[in-house]
Amino acid sequence: MGSRKIRLNKYIALSGVCSRRKADGYIIGGKVKVNGQVVIEPGFTVSDKDKVTVENKLIKPEELVYIRYYKPAGYITTSDDEKGRKTIYDILPDEVKHLKPVGRLDKDSTGLLILTNDGDFINELAHPSVKVPKVYRVAAQGKLNQQDLKLMENGIEIEKGQMAYAYSQIVEFEGKNTILEMVLYQGLNRQIRKMLEILGHPVISLKRYSIGPVDIQGLKRGQFKYIKPKQVKEIKAYIKKLMKNASK
């Protein structure tokens, strides 16, 4: 964090004690001290030079980490599964197992995941109002046509009252199958698979290539790379721009 000042509730959240909302409760309840003095204002600002305690326990924010990860097939995107299925945390290196994914990919899908311990970043990037474009390469059974693409663009009801949209183009026909590039601005569960199933063209394979300005270029399947601070700054500026546009 350096000597940069941040709000006290965010400082507490970054330490991993609790969420920012719960931090407000600790602060207002008089359970937080800065340099030995009780502070009851959530908006109070602190730096890494300050000594902050919550219920008399000294805390320190975690270093924020961001990675790109090329998820292989056969693993679900969660830290724990009650059905005993394999998760990405079974194969991620120990140094990044504390990070959480921004969104998910289902078990059979491959491609880009962004993982981080920056809760604000996760919330902003995944928020439905921000509409971050996600690009997929999809192989589907049978030969789709322009009418199919138009139907997906106009919206398909994949569950009762739940409309799903996708902007697609046909890349090529591979034998009897179709290779598509699909762009989503939503994050509905198994959205692409459900849309194409309804159209009578079940998915054969699905790979996510990018989330906003972040892609899997230079990554091998199962590999991760740290996102550099300069890139993180650019991504955050990109998200801020989308948020600004969404509020207009």
User: Nearest 5°: phi and psi at 130?
Assistant: -80, -30
Q: What is the pTM of this model?
A: 0.83
Dig out the tokens for 199 from the structure: 């159209």
Output the pLDDT for position 126: 84
Q: In this structure, which topology does domain 66-129+213-246 adopt according to CATH?
A: Alpha-Beta Plaits (3.30.70)
Which residues are the active-site residues? Answer: 106
Per the CB < 8 A criterion, the answer to whether 110 and 206 are in contact is: yes
pLDDT at position 128 is 82
Tell me the sheet residues that pair with 8: none
> What number does CATH give the domain 6-59?
3.10.290.10
Span 134-211: which CATH code? Answer: 3.30.70.1560
What is the predicted pLDDT for the residue at 81?
76
CATH 3.30.70.1560 range(s) for the chain read 134-211
Instruction: Copy the structure tokens of residue 126.
Output: 């995944």
Walk along the chain (248 residues) and give the pLDDT tens digit of each residue. 555 688 999 899 888 788 888 999 999 999 999 999 999 998 899 988 899 999 999 998 888 899 999 999 999 998 877 788 899 999 999 999 989 999 899 999 999 999 998 888 888 888 888 899 999 999 999 999 999 999 999 999 999 999 999 999 999 999 999 999 999 999 888 999 999 999 999 999 999 999 999 999 999 999 999 999 999 999 999 999 998 887 76
Instruction: Return the pLDDT at 66.
Output: 96
Per-residue HEC secondary structure of the chain comes to CCCCCEEHHHHHHHCCCCCHHHHHHHHHCCCEEECCEECCCCCCEECCCCCEEECCEEECCCCCCEEEEEECCCCECCCCCCCCCCEHHHCCCHHHCCCEECCCCCCCCEEEEEEECCHHHHHHHHCCCCCCCEEEEEEECCCCCHHHHHHHHHCEEEECCEEECCEEEEEEEECCEEEEEEEECCCCCCHHHHHHHHCCCCEEEEEEEEECCEECCCCCCCCEEECCHHHHHHHHHHHHHHHHHHCC
**Of 59, 53, 41, 64, nearest in space to 119 by CA:** 64
